[in-house]
Copies of this chain bind each other. A is one copy, B any other.
Amino acid sequence: MRKLQHPASDSLILTHVLYALSDPLRLSIVQKLAQTEGLTCGSFELPIAKSTASHHFRVLREAGVIHMRPEGTQYINSLRRTELDQRFPGLLDAILNAPIQL
């Protein structure tokens, strides 16, 4: 797998992050990554086509919410929690602690 581009932590854009988190499925990915770091895309067992899942991971990556590291034939995903907390203090915690209605 090729190395993917990620936005720098000091250039993350609030509206892009909010948009990335405004989808129930993407939010569920982030919630799972908040509990368990280093998950492959396949391990989420999402109830959608692979191409649709790839789209959602891309939106999260391009907004700077997740980091995708190539390893063999897969990507290992992690939440960019420290960088998000630095740039938007309190935002991620507020979202992760909110009542969720999917």
Contact = CB atoms under 8 A, between A and B. Distances in A.
Top 5 A-B residue pairs of the complex, sorted by shortest distance between their CB atoms:
A19-B22, A90-B94, A18-B22, A91-B94, A88-B98
A91 B87 contact: no
Given A19-B22, A22-B19, A22-B22, A14 B88 contact: no
Protomer copies: 2
A37 interface: no
Interface of A: 11, 13-16, 18-19, 21-24, 27, 87-91, 93-95, 97-102
B14 A95 contact: yes
A15 B24 contact: yes
A11 B101 CA distance: 9
